[in-house]
Structure 1
Amino acid sequence: MLRTQQKLLSCSARLRKPIYITTPIFYVNAKPHLGHIYSMLLADTRIRWEQLTPGKKTFFLTGTDEHGLKIQGVAEKEGISPKELVDRVSQNFKVLAETYNVKEDRFIRTTDTDHVEAVQYFWKLMESKNLIYKSSHSGWYSVSDEAFYPESQVKEIVDEKTGLTKRVSIETNNEVFFHEEENYFFRLSAFQDRIIEHILLNKDFVFPPQKSSELLRLLKDEKLDDLSVLRPSSRLTWGIEVPNDPSQKIYVWFDALINYITAAGYPRLPKNPELNIWPALTHIVGKDIIRFHCIYWPAFLMAAELPLPQQILVHSHWLSNGVKMSKSLGNVVDPIDLSTHYGADPSRLYLMEQANIATDCRFSEEAMYQRRALLLNKWANIGSRIQGGKFLLTRALEKKRLGVFDNFELLYSEHGVPKNKKEVLQLVNKLTESVNNLHSDMDAHMARFGQMYATQRWWETVELGNLLFAAAEPWVYSKTLNDDTISEVVRQKHEDIMDFIVYATSEVGRVLSICISPFMPELSKNFLDHLDVEQDKRDSRFCKFGEDSSYGRELVPGKLMGKVTKRH
């Protein structure tokens, strides 16, 4: 029988413990790009989604990776210290998060004091377990990846610029050079079978399934070499010092990966499961760092006898109009410029609508423009249709509270416009069902990071809301309200029908706004403020048609999505 290294928590403990989701920590040697905000938004929207359920505790970690030769080299060129450099450029990623309203619980930096202490403690633990040893080493080294690769993981290509042949990593396509040195090694090979075993026992450990299959093939076909975990201080000055050996600096990945447990309080992890965020529910990583997170990191945790994360989500990259983004092609999308031009919330929604985890996502500015226009014409239109003029939402909401709409089907059957009674009643039923199932349907997708599918389901309800309003034609009934040739009873019935359509449309807008709030936190807040929905009624408990009967009491006509003024 297969064994698993994972230390399983009891079911009740899992229900109580916080939901912990991480992004990669981003290397600060380059300007933030679309892939960085993509990782952040996958985490942020999932965390915000979980927070729609009262009582759920969450923890969201992102941050920056700040050690290594690349940082050292850039600092030398600029004539400044590496610390001065990382203090400056790490802010680029904080600004990116703030621009997109990403609300992390901690922005960790590998230069943080508690992280340095955690790494050095981890190093001493590995030494005490005889899992680190000294030996000479030669192999193909990538400065960009800060990693050695075996012969099986490199290939020869022709450089497009120089026309010369060079070797690159198959996984990252970054150039490698043959290098030999005396080094310290972590016994990675000792954990190969246990990693394979864990993946086989935990089908969603690496997600999506294609990435899990690829990883298993690699682990079964390739014998893992032990991992070089030090660099001589003579070559690498910018890194965490090895305890009791100032001549060596700790390898950047042995440093960086530990950030996930640093944030949990390692080496003093809380014993109370309600306070201990480790193990993480999900690490979100790009496909270019799958080896580090799905092989090295599980081995480190197994060595330390710590539980593994429940899942490592491996997402693909972004293409611009179907082509890989590159500076030379001039098709790199700046996420800050994107938000500035289209707004943070429409940009958030668009990037999550395109979030196909398993395949490369396709960015198109034309599509971005069209989706933003659709957002205004469809979702915002639901709110603008029911405010001011001939429609009085406050009156409609009061009638709902008084029970006037309790038997709308009979009311409409007797007094509705003859030409499309059946269609309207069918739409009312279909819309009510769609609204009532919206949160649970989206939740099923969000549980597997299916933001793309969750937003598609949301748009279905948006369309139905607009269809009902157009088919029911509430403006037709408003024309009879001042018609003296019609009896008072009939006029009242027509007003009730009109008010029900206004109320139903407001209910659609209310539930839609709650369900889309993890994707568009500011615009959804404006919509709900516009409806005067109470702050404590903006969660999953109220995502049903007619569930909230208290809103709209202080409603004042005004511009939807803009500043709302209330009477006091």
Structure 2
Amino acid sequence: MQTSKTFYITTPIYYPSDNLHIGHAYTTVAADALARFKKLTGYEVRFLTGSDEHGQKIERSARERGETPQEYVDKIVAGFKNLWHSLNISYDDFIRTTEDRHKIVVQKVFQKLYDQGDIYKASYKGWYCTPCETLWTEARLENGSCPDCGRSVEQLEEESYFFKISKYADRMLKYIEDNPDFIQPASRRNEMVSFIKSGLEDLCVSRTTFDWGIPVPFDEKHVIYVWVDALTNYISALGYGEEDDMLFQKFWPADIHLVGKDIVRFHTIIWPIILMALELPLPKQVVGHGWVLLDSGKMSKSKGNVIDPLVLINKYGVDAIRYYLLREMPLGADVIYSEEALVHRINVDLANDFGNLFNRTCAMVNKYFKGRLQTPSVPEGPDNELIQLAQSMPLEVEEFMERREFSNALAAILRLVGRANKYLEETTPWALAKEPAKQDRLNTVLYNVAEALRFATVAVTPFMPGLPKRAWPLLGIENQPHLFTWGSLQWGQLPNGTELKRGEPLFPRIDTALLEEA
């Protein structure tokens, strides 16, 4: 059975119509940061991502390239995995909808819904948006186009199976109203309530006009459509329906589905209703984050304005890119990406504040004490303010992460870094070094800053997981993993005699002339 110390988080499974862009990277980096944070704070975590590989769009794209659909998706999915590796994503499982383990579960789910009378056959006539893989009635179109993406639609008429989503509409509405934290942020919840109240139509869940999909188990001229196929990944990856369903019993219901705002409706109406029909618990929370936009609007492959995260990683480093994405985008809001803003974040927050504090501290300890810190003396003056801020920071970060406020969590950590920089200006260790009688005070000042750096580095690890392996040797504690834990964030844990080292800057300042290149 599930315990309070397990945590299951998912990203959407991404559609392999082409390579992923910076917006997809944001979703997965955010999920990874939360997964890593939960692990750091003592949870047993299951982190799932994957790829949604069926559908007419894939079939058409493969045909245009003279490939089978499987050959086509295999190459693109390899690119997904390469990007996640480059972004230091620590997923526990990568589910592909073309895997047998997934197909078996999808067919079981479809059969169960059919057997209990929730799926029926009828003919369908309506409008289909191929890019969104969505069927629309005439009333839902906006100016004759897809209401989600604004692109043209094509008229479609075929025999299909339908899921009685309308049967569960009142129950779904009541669930949302009784569980106000289920959909976050509140603006997304209000949109979904309005959508349900406008009337839910039964959902087309099979197609006959293409073959690239999972066959309906009792009618193989039909393939199971995206709603039952793709959304079921969240339980197929846990072995739902298998004899040995230990993972499912342990981790379901999901603690959080993290998705972009454009697919909130599927995850907060269609998916929960499927689960209701299966008599399974609903996910505890669905968070619909905003988009990464450009000045010209939403990124689009057709517009040719897609930002490739691999290019940015090669140019600025993965930790800096992760930091920018998580610091720049408040929960639920859109953010306008610009390379100028990225470089500004790197230079101000990371190079000037965080990296420079490491450089200054290590340099002074080496200059004044041959690299070794001793146990500090009794706090005085501004010491207590720095210590109190460090001691309150972990709880503040926990509270922000509980609300999925990644930007505010990072701001709390950087406040400690900023306070430590100010503390150096207040205590003037370079002046203390000139007075032999104040050597003990000098050691205390530098010890306090080094300890603040340890606190900040531990706390920032889920966001910038590549930083510790570079930072711990500078603080001389690379072989003391007990000092890297969340539980170690008690003031004064740096051992007597700790040897700090000088090294290359953790975050070199970016020459803005680089912006002219690319």
1:250 aligns with 2:231: no
Tell me what 2:515 maps to: none
Q: 2:449 aligns with which of 505, 517, 526?
A: 505
**Equivalents in 2 of 1:357, 1:122: separation in Å?**
33
Percent of aligned pairs with the same amino acid: 35
Cα pair distance change 1:112/1:323, threshold 3 Å: same
1:353 aligns with 2:340: no
Tell me what 1:50 maps to: 38
* Contact residue 382 and residue 506 of structure 1 kept, 8 A: no
| Cα deviations by residue, 1:244-275 (Å, 9 ceiling, x for unpaired) | 32211110221000000011111138676996
| Cα deviations by residue, 1:256-296 (Å, 9 ceiling, x for unpaired) | 00000011111138676996211100001111112211111
| TM-score, L = length of structure 1 | 0.85
SS of the counterpart of 1:103?
Answer: coil
SS of the counterpart of 2:426?
Answer: helix
**AA aligned opposite 2:282:** L
Tell me what 1:226 maps to: 202
* Contact residue 185 and residue 229 of structure 1 kept, 8 A: yes
**Equivalents in 1 of 2:173, 2:470: separation in Å?**
49
Tell me what 2:516 maps to: none
**AA aligned opposite 2:292:** W
* Contact residue 47 and residue 60 of structure 1 kept, 8 A: yes
1:341 aligns with 2:315: yes
Q: 2:118 aligns with which of 131, 151, 171?
A: 131
1:539 aligns with 2:480: no
**Equivalents in 2 of 1:311, 1:15: separation in Å?**
15
Q: 1:212 aligns with which of 189, 205, 208?
A: 189
* Contact residue 362 and residue 371 of structure 2 kept, 8 A: no
**Equivalents in 2 of 1:557, 1:336: separation in Å?**
30
1:86 aligns with 2:73: yes
| Cα deviations by residue, 1:386-420 (Å, 9 ceiling, x for unpaired) | 22442337542x333xxxx1x232xxxxxxxxxxx
**Equivalents in 1 of 2:347, 2:394: separation in Å?**
24
| TM-score, L = length of structure 2 | 0.93
1:550 aligns with 2:495: yes
Equivalent pairs, count: 502
SS of the counterpart of 2:258?
Answer: strand
Cα drift, residue 471 of structure 1: 1.9
**Equivalents in 1 of 2:47, 2:389: separation in Å?**
31
Cα pair distance change 1:560/1:499, threshold 3 Å: farther
1:408 aligns with 2:383: no
| Cα deviations by residue, 1:322-374 (Å, 9 ceiling, x for unpaired) | 73334576543211111111110000000001122222112121111111112
Tell me what 2:4 maps to: 15
* Gaps in structure 1 of 5+ consecutive residues: 1-8, 157-166, 410-424, 481-490, 563-568
1:74 aligns with 2:61: yes
Cα pair distance change 1:66/1:501, threshold 3 Å: same
Tell me what 1:383 maps to: 358
**Equivalents in 2 of 1:81, 1:31: separation in Å?**
18
**AA aligned opposite 1:363:** Y
**AA aligned opposite 1:537:** L
| Cα deviations by residue, 1:109-133 (Å, 9 ceiling, x for unpaired) | 1011100111011111112111111
Q: 2:149 aligns with which of 163, 172, 177?
A: 172
Tell me what 1:495 maps to: 439
1:428 aligns with 2:428: no
Q: 1:99 aligns with which of 73, 86, 89?
A: 86
Cα drift, residue 23 of structure 1: 0.3
* Contact residue 378 and residue 462 of structure 1 kept, 8 A: yes
1:145 aligns with 2:132: yes
* Contact residue 48 and residue 95 of structure 2 kept, 8 A: yes
* Contact residue 216 and residue 224 of structure 2 kept, 8 A: yes
Tell me what 1:277 maps to: 251
**Equivalents in 2 of 1:552, 1:292: separation in Å?**
57
* Contact residue 393 and residue 499 of structure 1 kept, 8 A: no
Cα drift, residue 314 of structure 1: 0.7
**Worse overlay, 449-458 or 471-480:** 471-480
Cα drift, residue 189 of structure 1: 0.8
* Contact residue 530 and residue 560 of structure 1 kept, 8 A: no
Select the structure of larger CA radius of gyration.
1
| Cα deviations by residue, 1:282-311 (Å, 9 ceiling, x for unpaired) | 001111112211111011100111100000
Cα drift, residue 31 of structure 1: 1.8
Cα pair distance change 1:328/1:148, threshold 3 Å: closer
**Worse overlay, 503-512 or 535-544:** 535-544
Cα pair distance change 1:342/1:178, threshold 3 Å: same
**Equivalents in 2 of 1:381, 1:458: separation in Å?**
15
SS of the counterpart of 1:308?
Answer: coil
Q: 1:30 aligns with which of 14, 18, 39?
A: 18
Tell me what 2:271 maps to: 297
**Equivalents in 1 of 2:243, 2:293: separation in Å?**
40
Cα pair distance change 1:551/1:536, threshold 3 Å: farther
Q: 1:449 aligns with which of 395, 399, 404?
A: 404
**Equivalents in 2 of 1:197, 1:138: separation in Å?**
31
SS of the counterpart of 1:124?
Answer: helix
1:466 aligns with 2:466: no
SS of the counterpart of 1:121?
Answer: helix
**Equivalents in 2 of 1:446, 1:522: separation in Å?**
20
Cα drift, residue 14 of structure 1: 4.3
Tell me what 1:162 maps to: none
